[in-house]
């Protein structure tokens, strides 16, 4: 029997890439590979890339440069680039870094075993197609190993929104939703293996319209189907677009006990002028009305957002509109970035805001969000909440889990087990986490 080969995967970016990396590992498991935590003893290295962050491609080339010595020591080592940078750069990756053996886009990674076999014969392999077949169905079944208490589950991919700053429609393709029965089957399998909380993933997850026997189902209808699964205690979803926040999904936040009171709803800017230039197809007023409706349905919901500062043509007045929106909404968490050009997007040809000014705006925005986050965390002290314990902490007897609101909670002298859902009283608010005592 041949020795098992080692696969090292480095994952960049969003939760969808984390999910994709898991599926790549499963696909390669069928080809005789098992994962390793270090590239040094790997027979194959895969970089699962993200094109959202600034200078994403250059960071990938830099990482590949670090593997040149390893490739020289181990000529049989196979190196691959997957994900959105692979989709965007294609053959350019192999041209700039000849050590790369294969390049695969995010819609074709189910073909990895065949591509790897091709490289064993000394050939290069490139696949950045958008194949018609369902990659999830083509992949090998998940191995029936025990899982941790939380898991990601991709239900929707691609984007039809074409925001002026974003490459996702070009790297992930058009919006497509997985059929309901396949999502439910995978969810049941995860629960059988120990998962108690599932986060549904999609580039625009609330645009989900999955085929079902009785016609397409919305994300809210899918959530209600998942609600029926015994042993599944918590449901989350990300990332959402304001224009796809339908009435039934808002209602589900108030009526479905398994749907957690946390919502990531990016707005990007509080300026109507900038929102129009971003091609967001909503304005600040409609966003604020939507927030009001969501909070009417679930008053205790914790909101998270995305913000881009320094977008082309953003003035200080535009930025103040964003700051005012943040003041009004009061976010428990947010992801914020300076605008960076993505070649091929409509905004790429527009003049940039002065970098020092954009940096100053980012600093001020992040300070405001940090203040709001701390105030919300401080308000949790004295409250009794439900914590799903996920792992042991840094100290003996300590356990760490997540609250309904996605806060990290540390509990000392904790008798709860990993995977247990228990009531905890919050006794202290710290930086990005809470401390509690088991009740």
pLDDT tens, position by position, 148-182: 899 999 999 889 999 999 988 887 888 999 999 99
Query: CA-to-CA distance for 74 and 87, rounded, in angstroms?
Result: 27
Q: Is the pLDDT of residue 291 over 90?
A: yes
* Calpha distance 92→49 (Å, rounded): 15
Q: What is the mean pLDDT of residues 215-219?
A: 92
Domain assignment of residue 136, yes or no: no
* Number of domain units in the chain: 3
Question: Is 159 annotated to bind ligand?
Answer: yes
**Residues 228, 207 share a domain:** yes
Whether residue 134 lies inside any domain: the answer is: no
Q: What are phi and psi of 348, to 5 degrees?
A: -65, -25
Model pTM?
Answer: 0.82
Q: Consult the annotation and say whether 414 binds a ligand.
A: no
CATH, residue 434 = 2.40.50.140
Query: Is 256 a known ligand-binding residue?
Result: no
Q: Which structural domain range is residue 57 located in?
A: 5-127
pLDDT at 86: 83
Same domain assignment for residues 313 and 225: yes
- Claim to verify: residue 366 and residue 389 sit in the same structural domain: no
The CATH number of the domain where 317 resides is what?
3.80.30.20
Q: Are residues 115 and 243 in the same domain?
A: no
**Are both 248 and 351 inside the same structural domain?**
yes
Question: Could you count the other beta carbons within 10 Å of the beta carbon of residue 1?
Answer: 4
Q: Domain boundary residue among 101, 127, 153?
A: 127
Whether 388 and 375 map to the same domain: the answer is: no
Residue 404 lies in a domain: yes
Mapped onto helix, strand or coil, the DSSP state of residue 387 is strand
Confidence of residue 1 (pLDDT cuts 50, 70, 90): very low
* 250/395: higher pLDDT: 250
- Average pLDDT score over residue span 12-38: 85
Tell whether 413 and 307 lie within a shared domain: no
Q: Mean of the pLDDT values across residues 254-261? A: 98
Final residue in a domain of this structure, among 93, 127, 161: 127
Residue 17 has pLDDT above 90, yes or no: no
Query: Does the bond joining 239 to the residue before it have cis omega, within 30 degrees of 0?
Result: yes
pLDDT at 397: 92
DSSP per position, 299-366: TT-EEEEEEEES-TT--HHHHHHHHHHHHHH--SEEEEEE----TTSGGGGSPPPPHHHHHHHHHHHH
Q: Are residues 182 and 272 in the same domain?
A: yes
Please check whether residues 318 and 178 belong to one and the same domain: yes
């Amino acid at each position: 029997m041949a020795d098992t080969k080692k696969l090292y995967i480095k994952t960049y970016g969003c939760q969808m890439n984390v999910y994709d990396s898991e599926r790549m590992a499963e696909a390669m498991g069928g080809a005789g590979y098992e994962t390793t935590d270090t590239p040094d003893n790997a027979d194959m290295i895969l970089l699962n890339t993200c094109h959202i962050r600034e200078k994403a491609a250059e960071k990938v080339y830099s990482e590949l440069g670090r593997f040149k010595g390893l490739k020289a020591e181990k000529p049989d080592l196979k190196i691959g680039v997957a994900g959105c940078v692979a989709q965007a750069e294609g053959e350019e990756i192999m041209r700039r870094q000849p050590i790369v053996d294969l390049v695969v886009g995010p819609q074709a990674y189910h073909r990895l075993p065949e591509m790897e076999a091709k490289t064993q014969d000394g050939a290069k392999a490139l696949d950045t197609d958008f194949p018609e077949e369902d990659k999830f169905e083509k992949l090998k079944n998940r191995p029936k190993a025990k899982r941790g208490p939380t898991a990601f589950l991709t239900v929707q991919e691609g984007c039809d929104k074409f925001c002026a700053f974003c490459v996702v429609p070009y790297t992930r393709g058009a919006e497509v939703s997985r059929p309901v029965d396949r999502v439910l089957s995978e969810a049941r399998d995860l629960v059988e293996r120990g998962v108690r909380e599932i986060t549904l993933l999609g580039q625009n997850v609330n645009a989900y319209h999955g085929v079902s026997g009785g016609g397409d189902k919305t994300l809210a209808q899918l959530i209600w189907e998942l609600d029926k699964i015994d042993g599944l205690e918590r449901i989350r979803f990300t990332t959402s677009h304001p224009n796809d926040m339908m009435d039934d999904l808002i209602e589900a936040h108030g009526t479905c006990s398994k749907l957690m009171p946390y919502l990531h709803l990016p707005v990007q800017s509080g300026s109507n002028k900038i929102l129009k230039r971003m091609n967001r197809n909503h304005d600040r007023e409609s966003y604020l009305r939507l927030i009001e409706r969501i909070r009417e349905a679930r008053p205790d919901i914790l909101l998270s957002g995305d913000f881009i500062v320094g977008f082309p043509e953003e003035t200080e007045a535009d930025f103040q509109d964003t700051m005012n929106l943040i003041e009004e909404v009061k976010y428990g968490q947010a992801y914020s970035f300076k605008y960076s050009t993505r070649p091929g997007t409509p905004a790429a040809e527009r003049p940039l805001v002065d970098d020092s000014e954009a940096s100053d705006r980012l600093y001020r925005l992040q300070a405001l969000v940090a203040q709001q986050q701390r105030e919300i965390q401080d308000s949790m002290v004295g409250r009794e909440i439900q914590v799903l314990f996920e792992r042991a902490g840094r100290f003996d007897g300590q356990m760490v889990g997540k609250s309904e609101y996605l806060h990290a909670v540390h509990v000392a002298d904790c008798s709860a087990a990993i995977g247990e859902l228990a009531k905890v009283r919050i006794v202290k608010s710290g930086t990005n986490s809470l401390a509690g005592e088991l009740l």
